[in-house]
Structure 1
Amino acid sequence: MTDTPARLLSLLSLLQTPREWPGSELAGRLGVSPRTIRRDIDRLRALGYPVEAAMGAAGGYRLVAGAAMPPLLLDDEEAVAIAVGLRAGAGHAIEGVDEASVRALTKLEQVLPSRLRHRVATLQAATAPLARGDGATVDPRTLTVMASAVTGLERLRFGYRSGDGTETKRQVEPYRLVSTGRRWYLVAYDLGRADWRTFRVDRVSDPFATGARFTPRELPSGEDATEYLSRSIAGMRPAPAALELDVTFLAPVEFVVARLPGHLGAPEATGQDTCRLRGTVTDSLEWLALRLALVDCAFTVHGPRSLTDHLRELGARLTQAANPAAPTPPVTSAPPAAPTPPAAPGQR
Structure 2
Amino acid sequence: MAETSRRALRLLSLLATARRWSLSELASRLDVSERTVRRDIETLRALDYPVTTVHGPAGGYSLGAGHALPPLLLDDEQALAITVALQTAPSSVFGLGEDAERALDALKRIMPARLRTAMESLNLTSLQNYWEFPADPIGSERLRAAGIAVRHRNVLIVDMVRADGTRPAPGEDDFSPARRIEPHHLVIWAGRWYLVAYDLADDDWRVRRLDRLHLHSPTGIPIQPRDLPGGDVARFVMTSHDRGDTPATWPCTGTARLNLPAETVARWAPGGSMVEHLGPDHCRLTIGAWSWAGVAGILATFDADMDQVTPTELVDACRRLVRRWHAVAAGPGSARP
> TM-score band (shorter)?
0.3 to 0.5
TM-score, normalized by length of structure 2? 0.45
TM-score, normalized by length of structure 1? 0.43
Bigger radius of gyration among the two: 1
